[in-house]
Structure 1
């Protein structure tokens, strides 16, 4: 299977999943377990993406001090309830400064 066939198959699968969500009856969507699942899955997926982007490089585990410091800065800013753009800017500035210093 070529890469483009795999991409096309994933696209069709994503579309079918979205369509299934739209076609689901309200009684299923209002069930407490389904609602709880829908609330927690995006958080888990976002956390997984952050970890993968922060601690891997070219498919291997890699510890980068500048990225880790930027992530820690973002976490602290979020705990201080800073606006989202401030969180992004603070993380980017810390990462950039550490990269400029050669760390």
Structure 2
């Protein structure tokens, strides 16, 4: 999905992945690793890239890991106390 969206937009998978991560509620910072100036410029361009809601949902769906205990239990007992980072794991609407 990452490569498919990247090809459709004419951008690299790395740039798309970084832009997606920047929009995640549980992510406060990113570390990039570029081997040359071209990669650095490509990575930095992710900061100004806006994803559509459809693109974001598609990337969310394919990257969602299985929910482990105690998180699956909290979905049934503490959903009303979820913060933004907790809602990333909430599968009740998936």
Larger RCO, structures 1/2 (Cα 8 Å, 6+ apart): 2
- Judging by fraction of residues, say which structure has more helix: 1
Q: Indicate the structure (1 or 2) with the bigger Cα radius of gyration.
A: 1
TM-score (norm 1): 0.24
**Could you tell me the TM-score, scaled by structure 2's length?**
0.25
